[in-house]
């Protein structure tokens, strides 16, 4: 395992806002579907409130950036379907190899490594 390089760290910090915006856009689409679904308005309201509370803690919405945790953060973002491995284009091969290794050691990429949306 390699430590994330300065260049990869800089790129990660530059890309995380876009990745989060994209993820939150997908959440909003899900919220719209929930709000347009049938049922009592109060039930939909409270269901939405519960979802927003849960989603606000998701790394696709809020993440504390620490260089020492960046590799694990990327793995988590892939697993939680915020990004795909393809979103790592432009990062160093060392970083990609480290992410692949972590994904493989912790159950592979079946939990979001290949899909988007």
Residue 39 lies in a domain: yes
Residue 50 lies in a domain: yes
Residue 114 lies in a domain: no
- Beta-carbon contacts of 90 under 8 Å, excluding residues fewer than 6 positions away, are 11
Instruction: List, for residues 24-41, the tens digit of each pLDDT value.
Output: 999 999 999 999 999 999
pTM of the model: 0.81
Tell me: pLDDT of 12 over 80: yes
Residue 83 lies in a domain: yes
Count how many domains the chain has.
1
Residue 85 lies in a domain: yes
Instruction: List, for residues 39-75, the tens digit of each pLDDT value.
Output: 999 999 999 999 999 999 999 999 999 999 999 999 9
Residue 110 lies in a domain: no
Residue 79 lies in a domain: yes
Range of the domain at 74: 6-105
d(C-alpha 64, C-alpha 83), whole Å: 17
SS3 label, residue 106: coil
Q: What is the DSSP letter of 5?
A: P
Question: What is the rounded average pLDDT for all residues in the chain?
Answer: 90
């Amino acid at each position: 395992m390699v430590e994330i390089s300065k260049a990869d760290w800089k790129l990660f910090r530059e890309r995380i806002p876009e990745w989060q915006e994209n993820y939150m856009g997908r959440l909003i689409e899900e919220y719209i579907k929930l709000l347009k679904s049938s049922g009592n308005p109060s039930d939909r309201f409270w269901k939405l409130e519960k979802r927003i509370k849960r989603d606000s803690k998701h790394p696709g919405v809020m993440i504390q950036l620490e260089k020492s945790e960046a590799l694990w953060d990327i793995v988590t973002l892939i697993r939680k379907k915020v990004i795909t491995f393809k979103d790592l284009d432009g990062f160093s091969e060392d970083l990609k190899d480290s992410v692949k290794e972590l994904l493989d050691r912790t159950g592979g990429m079946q939990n979001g490594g290949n899909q988007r949306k």
